[in-house]
């Protein structure tokens, strides 16, 4: 994980924590490949993979830079009943998407059921409210 990605991951964890979520950076790099960057719990427990795109977004026509196994791990977690999200930090904001709203073939975000924030700081409550809509029975989990 690059220095800039570490900074954005830290910002996300700090904002989620500020909003009373349990949040921890869990990137394991050296010990386990393909494991997500952030664990958070606030009504539901979720894994979040942090990605960086140095252009403006959201970018429906650009592939997300998943490393080997990252996409499939998040997909398997969701299939087993877990909650898996991707946060793509662009120059002009951050896109949050459930793993089921990333096209499996192209690894591009789909323009459906997403949250785009101009910045993470100050928007944690909005993010948590959006994530919590995926709770079983509320209709958003595919």
Read off the pLDDT of residues 14-38 as tens digits, 9 standing for 90 and up: 999 999 999 999 866 665 778 899 9
Does residue 83 lie in a domain region?
yes
User: What are the tens digits of pLDDT across the range 81-101?
Assistant: 999 999 999 999 999 999 999
User: What pLDDT sits at residue 106?
Assistant: 95
CATH code at position 45: 3.40.1350.10
Whether the pLDDT of residue 125 is over 70: the answer is yes
Smallest CA-to-CA distance from 98 within 115, 73, 81 is with 115
What is the count of structural domains for the chain? 1
Q: Please, which pLDDT band fits residue 118 given cuts at 50, 70 and 90?
A: very high
Distance (Å, rounded) from C-alpha 11 to C-alpha 91? 15
Per the domain annotation, does 107 fall within a domain?
yes
Q: Has residue 141 been placed in a domain?
A: no
Specify if 16 maps to a domain: yes
Provide the edge-to-edge strand list for the sheet that holds 38-42.
22-25, 38-42, 44-52, 84-90, 93-98, 114-117
Looking at residue 142, its pLDDT comes to 46
Q: Where in the sequence is the domain holding 37, given as residue range(s)?
A: 3-132
Residues 6+ apart with CB under 8 A from 16: 23, 38, 40, 42, 124, 127, 128
């Amino acid at each position: 994980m690059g220095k800039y990605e570490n900074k954005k991951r830290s910002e996300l964890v700090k904002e989620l924590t500020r909003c009373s979520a349990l949040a921890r950076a869990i990137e394991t790099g050296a010990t386990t490949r393909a494991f997500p960057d952030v664990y958070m719990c606030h009504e539901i427990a979720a894994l979040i993979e942090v990605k960086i795109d140095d252009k403006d977004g959201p970018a429906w026509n650009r592939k997300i830079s998943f490393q080997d196994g990252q996409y499939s791990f998040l997909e398997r977690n969701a299939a087993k009943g877990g909650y898996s999200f991707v946060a793509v930090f662009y120059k002009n904001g951050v896109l949050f998407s459930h793993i089921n709203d990333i096209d499996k073939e192209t690894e591009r975000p789909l323009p459906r059921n997403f949250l785009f924030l101009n910045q993470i700081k100050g928007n944690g409550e909005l993010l948590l409210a959006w994530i919590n809509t995926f709770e079983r029975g509320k209709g958003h989990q595919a």
